[in-house]
Amino acid sequence: MNDRERFSEVRQGDAALLRSRAIPSLFEALETQSEGTVAVDRHARVVWINEKYARMLGISDPAEAIGREVEEIIPHSQMRQILATGQPILLDLMLFGTQRLVVSRFPLTDDAGTVIGAVGFVLYDSLHRLKPLLAELSRLEAELAATKRRLDEGRQPRYTLQSYVGDSPVCLEVKRKARLAARTDAPILLLGETGTGKELIAQAIHGLSARSGRSFVGVNVAAIPETLLEAEFFGAVPGAYTGLDRRGREGRFKTADGGTLFLDEIGDMPLGLQAKLLRALQEQEIEPLGSDRPVKVDVRVIAATNVDLERRIRDGRFRSDLYYRLNVLPIRLPALAEMGGGLEAIAESILQEIAARSGLPLRGLTPEAVEALGRHRWPGNVRELRNVLERTCLLTDNRRLTAADLAEALPDLGDVQTAEAARPAPVQALVHAAPQPVPGYDEAFDEFERGLLGRALAASGGRATEAARALGISRAAFYKKLARLGMRAGG
């Protein structure tokens, strides 16, 4: 054997010796310098924990932890993930109360490379170089908390029962049922066509209920891809998704905990998810994706649909047991065409919203315009009406919208007017009718207002204050109108 070979053999022997000494030395150093150490078996049961870590966890005798599942004593532990993946997590942050712990976790394997356990070290006070990182983390957490507060504020309802405009019998019945629904926590099913104000009523019920101080969380079932629905509703535990945030996610049920969850378009929910929703309603608990541990929640559910759920039950597309669980207190919202005299009030309310939002002048409606609106079927309900009125406001400068103005925005209205105008007049009318000059709108309105003010003054004996009170306007507004029309009060 030459010198090179002898040197190589000695070097290999030293390397093996160093490696054999390094492994226990490193473990002992980590165990000694760390704030805590815990080891688990392949089933995530604690097989060893040092006294320092036990004291930190409030356990007087480390032996009390032996044999228990690691999550029982360390709620946010990721040791089970190490066992599942066989991959270490060299540095991580774990919340313990209000304290952040810097931890390292390593898998333990046998000679065949099979994972037989895992060990974790709490390194918080030993890694002084991490203090700048922790300071940056604290800043980011403060920003996150501020953003969460803003989101919580944004989850407060925007609408009240006063926002549901209309005093027709059908509208008053909806309001009566909404007030009754607010007194209980029973599930509610809102029925009605698209655009009838189902979310508005849901928010109003939440605002009148004992849960008004907590979150109102709305979700459109039809707008979420089916593959993401379960995680969106019930959340996901860390590591449930490959390639996504291993910290997991909070579902809508958890976000709405203590408050109200509004499920719009419930008829589009897949059958598989309907079973989990039924369990959540009955047991008031959910199972996040990837977990076998139920989580208790306190959520009031308001569902809404524009489809015939009973027909979907017959077609096998909706569970009958879920339907009966949701249909404890049904409220049917009328279509716009069923509002009767309430249509004018709704239109005027929308015009006020448009003026406030856009800065355009506040518009009114002529009697002919109201009549034209009443002749349309409004398949899109309030959304369609808002669209037509907003378009009309952009197309005309008239302060009072006419039927012709509306017809420009919605040709169907013009078609009705044209058809009625084309209807043959009675013969007598054609014989006796004489052409009459048509006054301008402003001229006609001034004449009407002049007569109205004159009658009010006559009835009050010429006393302007009493005349203004009878008309429901202020004394100053009354005098302004008199001056504009060239009139004077008698006293």
CA–CA distance from 379 to each of 182, 193, 223, 295 (Å)?
30, 9, 21, 43
pLDDT at 246: 56
Give the integer Cα–Cα distance in Å for 90 and 104. Answer: 5
* Total-model pTM: 0.54
Is residue 301 within 8 A of residue 326, CB to CB? The reply is yes
Helix (H, G, I), strand (E, B) or coil at 322: helix
Burial of 202 (0-12, 13-18, 19+ CB in 10 A): buried
The percent of residues above 90 in pLDDT, for the chain, comes to 36
Digit-coded pLDDT (tens) for 273-307: 999 999 999 999 998 888 878 889 999 999 999 99
Above 50 in pLDDT, residue 432?
no
pLDDT at 133: 65
Above 70 in pLDDT, residue 437?
no
Is residue 220 within 8 A of residue 303, CB to CB? The reply is no
Is residue 53 within 8 A of residue 38, CB to CB? The reply is yes
The 8 Å CB, 24+ separation contacts for 415-423 are 416/372, 416/375, 416/376, 417/372
Element (H, E) at 121: strand 115-122
The percent of residues above 70 in pLDDT, for the chain, comes to 78
> Over the chain, what is the mean pLDDT?
81
Average pLDDT over residues 92-113: 82
**DSSP classification of residue 184:** S
Give the integer Cα–Cα distance in Å for 469 and 485. Answer: 19
Average pLDDT over residues 45-58: 89
Is residue 334 within 8 A of residue 170, CB to CB? The reply is yes
Helix (H, G, I), strand (E, B) or coil at 61: coil
End-to-end CA, the chain = 135
Q: Are strands 89-96 and 99-109 parallel, antiparallel or unpaired?
A: antiparallel
Interacting residues of 57 by C-beta distance below 8 A, sequence separation 6+: 36, 65, 73, 74
Give the integer Cα–Cα distance in Å for 188 and 191. Answer: 10
Q: Domains plus CATH for the chain? A: 25-154 (3.30.450.20), 161-334 (3.40.50.300), 337-431 (1.10.8.60), 441-485 (1.10.10)
Helix (H, G, I), strand (E, B) or coil at 249: strand
Average pLDDT over residues 8-18: 58
Give the integer Cα–Cα distance in Å for 201 and 160. Answer: 8
Q: What angle do CA 374, 378, 187 make, to 5 degrees?
A: 115
Digit-coded pLDDT (tens) for 313-348: 999 999 999 999 999 999 999 998 887 667 888 899
Give the integer Cα–Cα distance in Å for 377 and 484. Answer: 41
Above 60 in pLDDT, residue 419?
no
330 bridge partner residues: 189
Q: Which value, in Å, is the radius of gyration of the alpha carbons in the chain?
A: 36
Give the integer Cα–Cα distance in Å for 124 and 102. Answer: 5
Is residue 453 within 8 A of residue 485, CB to CB? The reply is yes
- Could you tell me the two tokens for 244? 């996504």
- Identify which of 444, 449, 459 has the alpha carbon closest to the alpha carbon of residue 484: 449
Above 50 in pLDDT, residue 251?
yes
